[in-house]
Amino acid sequence: MKWNKIFKMINNIITGLLFIVLVFSVIVVISVRASGGEPTVFGHQLKTVLSGSMEPEIQTGSIILIQVGGDMTRFDEGDVITFRTKDNILITHRIVEVKGNGQQYITEGDNNDGPDIEPVLSENIVGQYTGFNLPYVGYVTNFANTKQGVALLFIVPGVFLLIYSVVSIWRALKQLENQQEETQALVARSQADKKV
Catalytic residue among 25, 31, 35, 51: 51
Q: Between the CA atoms of 182, 183, 189 and 191, what dihedral angle is there, to the nearest 10 degrees?
A: -160
Cβ–Cβ < 8 Å for 63, 47: yes
The set of residues, in sequence order, having a beta carbon less than 8 Å from that of 157 and lying 6+ positions away, is 18, 21, 22, 25
Spatial contact of 47 and 66, defined as CB atoms under 8 Å apart = yes
Q: Which residues, in sequence order, are CB contacts of 60 under 8 Å at separation 6+? A: 49, 50, 51, 52
Would you call 51 a catalytic residue per the annotation?
yes
Tell me the C-alpha distance between 57 and 35, whole Å: 27
**Catalytic site residues?**
51
